[in-house]
Amino acid sequence: MPLIVTGSIGIDSVHAPTGTATDVLGGSSIYFAAAASFFGPVRLVGAVGEDFPDHFLETFNHFAVDLEGLERRAGSKTFRWTGRYHENMNERDTLEVHLNVLAEALPPIPEAYRDSQYIFLANTDPGSQAQLLDSFPDRRLAVADTMDLWIDTQKSQLLALLERIDGLVLNDAEAIMLTGATNLVQAAEVIVAMGPRFVVIKKGEHGSLLVHEDGHLALPAFPVRNVVDPTGAGDSFAGGMMGYLAAADDISIRTLRTAMAYGTIIASFNIESFSLDRMKQITRDDLDRRFEGFRAMLEL
């Protein structure tokens, strides 16, 4: 079933103990779309500015991402983000963020996208997320991601969005920040009481936690020795999860569990290099092989 995403499309600079990548392709919807495309086609809605390098578009030759909804806006500048990872690679500081075109209106949604059933609102301002949602009243599943900046600056818009979505994906620190809870299970339950039917809390190298009205699941991360750049781990996790659900066209908790495992696997590949470099090299077979290894590891 057709899957659509909106979120940031950015020019990132990343400083990590493993090296530095300057002015590389990034953004929440980019990592999401690339990861989801291993399971089926993905539609992307978003805007970039005049400064968006042409060669970034070549990256999409590797992924089945429909770019009809991507606008290059004259007179605007692309979203930019710069981050620095701590020695442990689990924590990072945002050094600079320039919203630029992200603070402007979303581009129009192409007519051909109207039958989208699976909607993912990747990290961007909650107003743009709500606008995408408004365009799909007959959707099957709507899931959103959010982050500290929006919890800080646009909490009321975010709370309004939570009442309208089926699922929320966010990291551990953000779940605590949003709810004020002291433990993650409690935080997830508070969020479920705010509207969505399920919450997935991402815990970096410690895996993920699902709290769903039909049950719970805690999954470890796939153990990766060679972590180069964790940027986009959360977005690629969400892309794998939503891509799997849309391809299965099944939103039961049973399928959601497998979808989370695929999200875990694609994120484990993504962090093995900067930007989308590792995802560009792999195939669905590579994903399936690592998935089987993950399943074998968990046989209890």
Q: CA–CA separation, 293 vs 113, rounded Å?
A: 36
Q: CA–CA separation, 127 vs 153, rounded Å?
A: 12
Nearer to ligand AMP, 26 or 196 (CB): 26
Nearer to ligand AMP, 109 or 238 (CB): 238
Nearer to ligand AMP, 8 or 179 (CB): 8
Q: What residues contact residue 167 under an 8 Å CB cut-off, 6+ apart?
A: 141, 142, 143, 144, 196, 197, 198, 199, 200
Nearer to ligand AMP, 43 or 80 (CB): 80
**CB of 236: closest distance to ligand AMP in angstroms?**
7
Residue nearest ligand AMP (C-beta atom) = 26
**CB of 4: closest distance to ligand AMP in angstroms?**
17
Of 286, 285, 253, 255, give the one whose Cα is nearest residue 268: 286
**CB of 252: closest distance to ligand AMP in angstroms?**
26
**Beta strands across the sheet bearing 42-49:** 65-73, 42-49, 3-6, 118-121, 141-145, 167-171, 198-202, 208-212, 215-219
Residue type, 237: F
Q: What residues contact residue 33 under an 8 Å CB cut-off, 6+ apart?
A: 5, 42, 44, 63, 65, 239
Nearer to ligand AMP, 2 or 59 (CB): 59
Element (H, E) at 19: strand 19-26
Which residue shows structure tokens 């551990």? 172
| Contacts to ligand AMP by CB under 6 A | 8, 10, 12, 26-28, 81, 97, 123-124, 147, 149, 231-235
Nearer to ligand AMP, 26 or 167 (CB): 26
**CB of 149: closest distance to ligand AMP in angstroms?**
4
